[in-house]
Amino acid sequence: MSFIDDDSYLSQDISEADPAVARLLGAELDRQSDTLEMIASENFTSQAVLQAVGSVLTNKYAEGLPGKRYYGGCEVVDEVEQLAIDRALELFGADHVNVQPHSGSTANEAAYAATLAPGDRVLAMALSHGGHLSHGLKVNFSGKLYEFHHYGVRRSDQYIDMDQVREMARELRPALIVAGASAYPRIIDFPAFREIADEVGARFMVDMAHIAGLVAAGVHPTPVGIADIVTTTIHKTLGGPRAGMVMCNADLAAKVDKAVFPGLQGGPLMHVIAGKAVAFGQALTPEFRARQQAVVDNCAALADELMEGGLDLVSGGTDNHLVLVDLSATPLTGQEGEDRLDRAGITVNKNGVPFDERPPTVTSGLRIGTAALTTRGLREPEMREIAQVIVAALRPEATEADLEALRARSRAVGDRFPLYPRLHAGTAV
């Protein structure tokens, strides 16, 4: 009998060990390939990142920080985490970073824990105007632990109302002011927030989850060096594995590290941290910077063509990777719009628009982003064609047959840009 037993529990390929899950992995690869992915918070990570995340590092416990662990055998993962840290600092230029948060929400939880006591007052953007649920939604940990108040955008032009931010800050004297959004198509004026925070003696935090890739590439102004603390996801425009991180000024470093571990988390996901190191390495290249510029250029072309087709956009356009289509003036709801685009082969999400009169389960808007398709290789001509498909699909008179024909058109656009051609068809690994 040989010591090498390919049929052993440890060596079995997923297609033999678990055909049901293997089939679903293949089905999801097909779905991602066969549709046009325009959810603004999504992206395609590189095969190199997929390999890191699917590696033996998932086996390792490494509570603590590089050189200061609570477990033996950490000499290799110490190097992995140090690489991720060094590259993150090179990419964004912060004093300090903790690369262990499992997600963007956890990164925010750590940032609040490092800067606030329970019950402290915080001023952040309203979810209904583009904010995030981890910025004080009542049913979220943030809204339960801290006293959040919310600013929004102006009715007139749908840009963030900095006068309202200043007034609310003066009145409420918050301990922390938060900037950052999940559905805001314009550049955020970080220096203006900083000035207000200084005036009222608040700390200033930026959650750049959506725009981190643009910031890394210099396509959106950076909050690093302006805010006291900056949180982000790694998987949105930044294009890395699904996870988060916290950057901060030197004076908050120890507090941030303690907030992450032992404050919130146990063992870090070392395989995901390896994926972060790979993604940061890729983000330091000129190719990445050019691609982020293309994300913004693509979005401008998409916006232009959507408006040309008669659709209203929140704030009348975009400066970043996303647009918000406002369907209030049409007979369609956001939910109906999402369903129609789904049938036309384009994946987006319904999204409230500022001052939306419909409930969050229905909404009057669609959030559409260009990060994923730009990573896949699509450029302005394709964006214009996709915008025409979107306009046609959202026409009130569009029939089921029309949507079917539009689906074929979407598929033809996508087929010109093969997704992960080296992955095994059928199992996606």
Ligand X SMILES: *Cc1c(COP(=O)(O)O)cnc(C)c1O
- Joined together, the tokens standing for residue 52 give 């890191």
- Give the residue among 355, 373, 353, 378 at the shortest CA–CA distance from 363: 353
Q: Based on the shown chain and the rule CB under 6 A, indicate whether residue 132 belongs to the binding site for ligand X.
A: yes
Segments of 309-390 assigned E as strands: 312-313, 322-326, 346-347, 349-350, 365-369
Residue with tokens 């203006």: 192
Cβ–Cβ < 8 Å for 123, 150: yes
Count other Cβ atoms within 10 Å, centred on residue 379.
15
**Position among 64, 174, 180, 268 found at the interface with ligand X (CB under 6 A):** 180
- In Å, how far are 135, 344, 379 from 311, measured between CA atoms? 30, 17, 21
Count other Cβ atoms within 10 Å, centred on residue 325.
28
**Position among 186, 194, 210, 376 found at the interface with ligand X (CB under 6 A):** 210
Residue 222 is a catalytic residue: no
Q: CB of 410: closest distance to ligand X in angstroms?
A: 25
Residue 411 is a catalytic residue: no
Q: What is the DSSP string of 252-292?
A: GHHHHHHIIIIII-SS--HHHHHHHHHHHHHHTSHHHHHHH
Closest to ligand X by CB, 22 vs 279, is 279
Question: Which of these is catalytic: 222, 233, 363, 375?
Answer: 233
Q: Which residue is nearest to ligand X (CB)?
A: 104
Q: CB of 243: closest distance to ligand X in angstroms?
A: 7
CA distance 394 to 88: 41
Question: Which of these is catalytic: 87, 236, 291, 350?
Answer: 236
**Position among 82, 103, 164, 328 found at the interface with ligand X (CB under 6 A):** 103
- Joined together, the tokens standing for residue 157 give 């032009």
Strands 36-37 and 346-347: parallel
Q: Based on the shown chain and the rule CB under 6 A, indicate whether residue 220 belongs to the binding site for ligand X.
A: no
Stretch that binds ligand X, among 98-106, 140-148, 158-166, 415-423 (CB under 6 A): 98-106
Q: CB of 210: closest distance to ligand X in angstroms?
A: 5
Q: What is the DSSP string of 155-212?
A: TTT-SB-HHHHHHHHHHH--SEEEE--SS--S---HHHHHHHHHHHT-EEEEE-TTTH
Q: Based on the shown chain and the rule CB under 6 A, indicate whether residue 177 belongs to the binding site for ligand X.
A: no
Question: Which of these is catalytic: 23, 30, 34, 63?
Answer: 63
Closest to ligand X by CB, 134 vs 364, is 134
Site string for ligand X, 3-42 (x = CB under 6 A): --------------------------------------x-
**Position among 244, 268, 337, 345 found at the interface with ligand X (CB under 6 A):** 244
- Please list every residue from 38 through 97 that binds ligand X, using CB under 6 A: 41
Q: CB of 272: closest distance to ligand X in angstroms?
A: 11
- Joined together, the tokens standing for residue 109 give 């939880």
Q: Based on the shown chain and the rule CB under 6 A, indicate whether residue 233 belongs to the binding site for ligand X.
A: yes
Residue 60 is a catalytic residue: no
Strands 121-125 and 147-151: parallel
Instruction: Give the interface size with ligand X as a residue count (CB under 6 A).
Output: 15
Residue 382 is a catalytic residue: no
CB crowding 83-103: b at 16 or more within 10 Å, else e: bbbebbbebbebebbbbbbbb
What secondary structure letter does DSSP report for 224? B
Closest to ligand X by CB, 159 vs 417, is 159
Closest to ligand X by CB, 182 vs 282, is 182
For the beta sheet containing 229-233, the strands, ordered from the edge strand earlier in sequence to the opposite edge, are 96-98, 244-248, 229-233, 203-207, 176-179, 121-125, 147-151
**Position among 32, 35, 182, 375 found at the interface with ligand X (CB under 6 A):** 182
Residue 63 is a catalytic residue: yes
Stretch that binds ligand X, among 82-90, 176-184, 282-290, 362-370 (CB under 6 A): 176-184
Cβ–Cβ < 8 Å for 325, 348: no
Q: Based on the shown chain and the rule CB under 6 A, indicate whether residue 209 belongs to the binding site for ligand X.
A: yes
Closest to ligand X by CB, 319 vs 382, is 319
* Catalytic (active-site) positions: 61, 63, 207, 233, 236, 242
Q: Which residues bind ligand X (CB under 6 A)?
A: 41, 103-105, 108, 132, 134, 180-182, 207, 209-210, 233, 244
